[in-house]
Amino acid sequence: MNDLQAHRRLLLAALAGSALTPLLWPLRARAGALDAISRTDATAALRAALDKGSVAAVEKLGVVGGFLNNPKVKIPLPPAIAKIERALRFAGLQDQADQLVQSMNTAAEQAVPMAKPLLANAVKSMTVSDAKKILAGGDTSVTDYFKSKTAQPLTTKFLPAVKIQTDKVNLARQYNGLIGKVTELGLAKDADPNIESYVTRKALDGLYTMIGDEERAIRANPVEYGSAIISKVFGALK
């Protein structure tokens, strides 16, 4: 490589760096705004936001239509059945598939209130290594961190509550009946044998989605939430 080529490469690298700099400004601004906030306050605000988000998520989803009427969180047919939905219609099984969706979402709506103490305990016991870094990470960074730390244990703890509700709507019987028919037709060979686990995972996904929506709202207007620590810390991020 001659001197001219080396100079061109250095110039291009410098231009690329300067082009990326404006994209980094929001992250740097968030991190800088938190410099005056103590680690204790940052951690307290993070937990307070998750508490608010968890309560709001349960209230919105734990009602009739909370899942079924919300496209963001509506629980769809399990993948093995969803991919053959058109074939189900031609086989005269669409009504059974629709009933399965109804029952899954109804079970989730009825089970979600039982998740409230599980979420509260998860928020309280969660280890927070660097609250300031988490808070400065983006619109749903707190929720994303919470999910990464709690999804697996919450799935295990929430499953019994979901099973109580799936039993009430005879979900396993409906699911096994539909799977039996599509298997006879050679349409589904890789169906999930545990419908309760599927509903549990999707119900928790819905809760995390709604907690994330609440985090966005807190960041947009922290004063509205009537919490001094949320106003102080999230207000500094605006």
What's 137's DSSP letter? T
Q: Are residues 176 and 128 in the same domain?
A: yes
**How many Cβ atoms from other residues are within 10 Å of residue 99's Cβ?**
14
Give residue-wise pLDDT tens across range 95-140: 988 999 999 999 999 999 999 999 999 999 998 988 999 999 889 9
**Sequence-distant (≥ 6) Cβ neighbours of residue 103 within 8 angstroms:** 166, 169, 170, 171, 174
Q: Are residues 99 and 155 in the same domain?
A: yes
CA atoms within 13 A of residue 72's CA, in its CB half-sphere: 14
In 3-state terms, what secondary structure has residue 193?
Answer: coil
The predicted model scores a pTM of: 0.82
Q: In terms of residue numbers, what domain contains 7?
A: 1-33
Q: Are residues 92 and 131 in the same domain?
A: yes
Give residue-wise pLDDT tens across range 158-205: 999 999 999 999 998 898 888 788 777 776 666 666 899 999 999 999
Q: Are residues 86 and 167 in the same domain?
A: yes
Q: Are residues 11 and 82 in the same domain?
A: no
Give the model's confidence band at 24: pLDDT under 50 very low, under 70 low, under 90 confident, else very high. Answer: very low
Q: Are residues 113 and 212 in the same domain?
A: yes
Give the model's confidence band at 10: pLDDT under 50 very low, under 70 low, under 90 confident, else very high. Answer: low
CA pair distance 107, 170, nearest whole angstrom? 10
CA pair distance 217, 227, nearest whole angstrom? 14
Q: Is the pLDDT of residue 222 over 70?
A: yes
The number of distinct structural domains making up the chain is 2
Q: Are residues 23 and 102 in the same domain?
A: no
Hey, what long-range contacts does 37-40 have (CB within 8 A, 24 or more apart)?
Answer: 37/132, 37/232, 37/233, 37/236, 39/131, 39/132
Output the average pLDDT for the chain: 85
Give the model's confidence band at 11: pLDDT under 50 very low, under 70 low, under 90 confident, else very high. Answer: very low
CA pair distance 238, 220, nearest whole angstrom? 8
CA pair distance 92, 159, nearest whole angstrom? 32
For the chain, what's the residue count?
Answer: 238
Q: Are residues 14 and 54 in the same domain?
A: no
**How far is CA 86 from each of CA 27, 30, 93, 188, rounded to the nearest angstrom?**
46, 48, 10, 13
**How many Cβ atoms from other residues are within 10 Å of residue 47's Cβ?**
18
Q: Are residues 12 and 62 in the same domain?
A: no
